Amino acid sequence: MSAAVFGPGVIIVTRTDTAIPVAFNIGYANEFSLDISAPTKQLMGQNQFPIAVARGVAKVTGKAKAAVLSGQVFNAAFFGQSFTAGKDNYYFNEPHTPSTTTQVVTNTTGGIVDLGVTYAATGIPLVRVATASVAGTYSVVQSTGTYTFVAADEVALNFNYSNFSSASGQQLNITNQLIGVTPTFQLDYWTNLNQPAAKPFAVRLFSCAGSKLQIASKIEDFVLPELDFEVFANAAGQVMNINFPDLG
C-alpha cells in the first residue's frame, strides 16, 4: 500500500564539486518542495484531438527552508567560496562622553569600521568630515578607533562601529567570480511517519545548483533562510532516486 508523509523531514546537502564531498544537515528543516515539469507538444491533424503527444525538455526545481542559519550550508549550496576564522563584531550605542576633543572607543584591536555617532540626548546623528571644525561634525582614524570633535561636542555621545576578531566565529568571504562558476551539491531528503508503522520516504537528487538564496527578516518573526535550486543529471546520467517504503 502507499505511505503517508508528514513534516519537512531531514535535508542533507553534500558538495559535489570538491575533491572530498562533505555533507551538511541544513539544520531544523522547516519546508521542502520539489517541482517536476515537462512541457509537451501536440501533433494535430484535421480532427479535434491530437494524434500524438511528445514530451520536450524536462525541468526539476526545488525549495528548502531551514529554521537556523548555517554558513557551511550557504557555501555548499550556493556560494562555493572560502571562510576566514573569526567575524566582524558590531557595537551599537556605545556610550562615551569625551573629556577632551578626542575619544577612543572600547574595541579597537585591528582597527574599526565607523558606523556613525549620535547625540545620546536626542539621537540626532553627527556628520563625519575630514577635519571636525564645527559642532555636529567629527572625524575618525579607523586604524586606531580615535574620534575627534570640537569642544562644543564634549557631551554624551553614542558610538556605532564594527571591528574584526579572530577569537570566535567564521566569516564567509564572497568575491567576484567568473561567470559560469557554479558550486554543485547532492541533496538527500528523508522523512518517516511512524503511524501505524514506520515507513520512511526518501529522495536523492544527484546534482543540484542553487539559483536563489533568501534571508528575510521581519518584526515578530524568525529568520527562515530559503534556498531555491535546480536539478540536473550527473556524469552517469542519474537525476534522482525516489525511495518508497512499499510496493504499490
**Domains assigned to the chain:** 10-36+58-81+174-243 (2.30.110), 86-170 (no CATH)
Query: pTM for the complete prediction?
Result: 0.87
Asked whether residue 1 carries a pLDDT value surpassing 70, the answer given is: no
Map residue 214 onto helix, strand or coil: strand
Q: What angle do CA 221, 164, 105 make, to 5 degrees?
A: 95
Q: Cα dihedral angle (209, 210, 211, 212), rounded to 10 degrees?
A: 180
What pLDDT, in 10s, does the model give residues 59-78? 999 999 999 999 999 999 99
Minimal CA–CA distance to 8: which of 36, 37, 35, 28? 28
Backbone angles phi, psi at 71, to 5 degrees: -65, -40
Pairing relationship of beta strands 240-243 and 199-214 according to DSSP bridges: antiparallel
Asked whether residue 2 carries a pLDDT value surpassing 90, the answer given is: no
